[in-house]
Amino acid sequence: MAVFGKQIVGIAVAGVLGLTQTVVHAEEAKKEPWLTIVVPIEVQNDGNFKSDDRGNERNDLFATVEPEITVGILPGLTFFAHGVLEPMRDARPGENRFFRSHGIYLEELYLAYEGTLISDGPSALKFRVWGGKFGPNFGTAWDAAPGIYGTDFAEDYEIAERLGFGGALILDHAALGTHTLSASTFVLDRSVLAGSAITKRTRPVLADGGPSNTRGLKSFHVTLEGKKLPGLEGLTYHVSFIHQGVRGAPNERGIAVALGYEGELSGFTIKPIIEYVHIFNADGVSDQGRNYLTTGFSIEKDGWEFALSHTFRHTRTPLAGTVRDNLLAVSGGYTFGNGLGIALGYSFRNEDSIATHTVGVLLTYELSWEFGGKSK
């Protein structure tokens, strides 16, 4: 699989470099190469103080650091790398942890090229292609749900660490708004890029099975999303479909539909979100389906933020019937002028009829540097 991974990245490099030679003057040339480095840092403490399962009652203090590097190589051509430092395993029943089991791995590594196909005053039709290791654009709540714990259930369907290719058409129209149609084809990363440092994690192998873990590119996604709609400038939409091949089992498929909004109300910034996701043949199990409905709302003013969210997760299994889980989360926080943020949160989750109460605190900060010419 290491050889296969090198072939995927090699073909991506060759393809994108070839495209830069055939598309001329797609973007205005920059005077010199540029480099940006962004390092978001989070330190979080979760205390499960009450649960129907005593093994869930524990305290976990951990860090999440996600350094990103973007390099402008040639006009329109960029290189992107995204690493993640986080715990490499879940806490054991009853285990209290203090910065334990942390490791770092490479979540994204790809080349991308952007250009303009048609330009007419304030309107344009642009394109973007990429190849390497990336996460297909399926769903939004796993990243966009507000608060400390708003994303916890939605992270089930975050699709990450895939090798392959993708492309997008972006219509930026003065009268119609901005709409992006994107698609990609991919396979689960089983190459050396799937390893980790400091604390080792187990690299997947073909025999493990599961979504996207196939020989060759047998998985794909298609997404349509938009923003800046006339008369509804704060509204965003996201509609996506994903097909993940499963070796020796039914293929997993999913649909996601989401609406979001950001606007001003009496001096406050409000951000509601709603998303529905259905997974067919979840995990490659025939007739096993999962439904997610996430709703969230945040309100911000002068550095203060309050967030409330709820997620239903219903899993229909062929033998056990339907398991109904739900997650309710609330949090509030403040971001200081120097960029340091602090938030307090509470979540109540009911998973397979086991209720767990959690309180937590989250510290956030971001470092950034820019070198060379201006980045986009």
- CATH value at residue 215: 2.40.160.10
* Span 270-313, pLDDT tens digits: 999 999 999 999 999 999 999 999 999 999 999 999 999 999 99
Q: What is the mean pLDDT of the chain?
A: 91
CB 244 within 8 A of CB 212: yes
Q: What pLDDT is attached to residue 118?
A: 94
146/279 Cα distance (integer angstroms) = 23
* Span 161-203, pLDDT tens digits: 999 999 999 999 989 999 999 999 999 999 999 999 999 999 9
220/14 Cα distance (integer angstroms) = 21
> Domain range spanning residue 158?
2-372
Residue 327: exposed, middle, or buried by beta-carbon count in 10 A (0-12, 13-18, 19+)? buried
Q: What is the pLDDT averaged over residues 63-76?
A: 96
Q: What pLDDT is attached to residue 121?
A: 86
Q: What is the pLDDT averaged over residues 88-93?
A: 93
The one-letter amino acid at 231: G
For residue 15, pLDDT beyond 80: no
The one-letter amino acid at 146: P
* DSSP class per residue in 110-137: EEEEEEEEEEETTEEEEEEEEEEEE---
* Span 304-353, pLDDT tens digits: 999 999 999 999 998 888 999 999 999 999 999 999 999 999 999 999 99
For 57, which DSSP code? -
For the chain, the first-to-last Cα distance in angstroms comes to 35
Residue 158: exposed, middle, or buried by beta-carbon count in 10 A (0-12, 13-18, 19+)? middle
Task: Determine which helix (DSSP H) or strand (DSSP E) holds 7, and give its type and residue range.
Answer: helix 2-22
Domain count, the chain: 1
Torsion of CA 258, 334, 368, 233, to 10 degrees: 40
Q: Report CA-CA distances (Å) from 354 to 49, 314, 325.
A: 14, 14, 9
For residue 4, pLDDT beyond 80: no
What is the reported pTM? 0.89
Of the candidates 255, 258, 218, 251, the one whose C-alpha atom is nearest the C-alpha of residue 235 is: 258
The sign of the CA dihedral 135, 136, 138, 140 is positive
Of residues 22 and 241, the one with the higher pLDDT is 241
Q: What pLDDT is attached to residue 64?
A: 98
% pLDDT > 70, the chain:
91
* DSSP class per residue in 265-291: ETTEEEEEEEEEEEEESGGG-TT-EEE
Residues 6+ apart with CB under 8 A from 104: 65, 83, 84, 85, 196, 197, 198
